[in-house]
Amino acid sequence: MSGITEVFVATHDAAVQRAAALDKALEAIGEGGTQVEIPDAPHTRINGITDWEIERLGQLAGQAVHSVGEDELAIADVASETLYVAPESMVRALADLLAETSDDGAPVLPDVAAAWASEEDMPLSGDAAVESVKRIGELAADAAEDGRQQLYVWSGTESV
């Protein structure tokens, strides 16, 4: 089994629709089926991880920016077992990570990305981890700026 996780910004209704389409697309892949149209939303997809790794990234970001608050993803809707919503404190920590610097003025994002990549079974390392963390931070910043949208995590598993 291989995890596929997508982080995206949307309204609640759009997130539920996107998650349903992603579920259907994942099912079609497993059955060798046809392509499924997925509603557009700003997103990033990371193969080989689950929602737990995104939760862990949120915890690492919170530590790096000295943020306190909820650091666990929550089920976004009873209609979906694969759709989670990030708590506001996690969104803020991920967004703040983009500009946070250490005492010597160096950006902390690469250090957080390296710590995240060193977690057990992480398929990312080096520049790929930094780019993924940066993109997730950008999505979090978009969600933080727009009071109508939130940061969602869809996580599915495909048979290999």
Instruction: Give the ranges where 33-125 is alpha helix by DSSP (H).
Output: 51-64, 88-96, 109-117
Radius of gyration of the chain (CA): 15
3 closest CA partner among 55, 63, 70: 55
The per-residue pLDDT for range 6-60, each reduced to its tens digit, is: 999 999 999 999 999 999 988 887 666 667 788 889 999 999 999 999 999 999 9
Do the domain assignments include residue 1? no
What is the percentage of the chain residues whose pLDDT exceeds 90?
A: 78
| pLDDT at residue 105, rounded to an integer | 94
DSSP-derived secondary structure for 2-35: EEEEEEEEE-HHHHHHHHHHHHHHHHHHHTT---
Range of the domain at 118: 6-158
In a domain, 35, yes or no: yes
Per the model's pLDDT, the better-predicted residue between 144 and 37 turns out to be 144
Task: Please indicate, yes or no, if residue 154 is contained in any of the structural domains.
Answer: yes
pLDDT (0 to 100) of residue 79: 86
What are the percentages of helix, strand and coil residues in the chain, rounded to 5?
45, 20, 35
Domain tally for the chain? 1
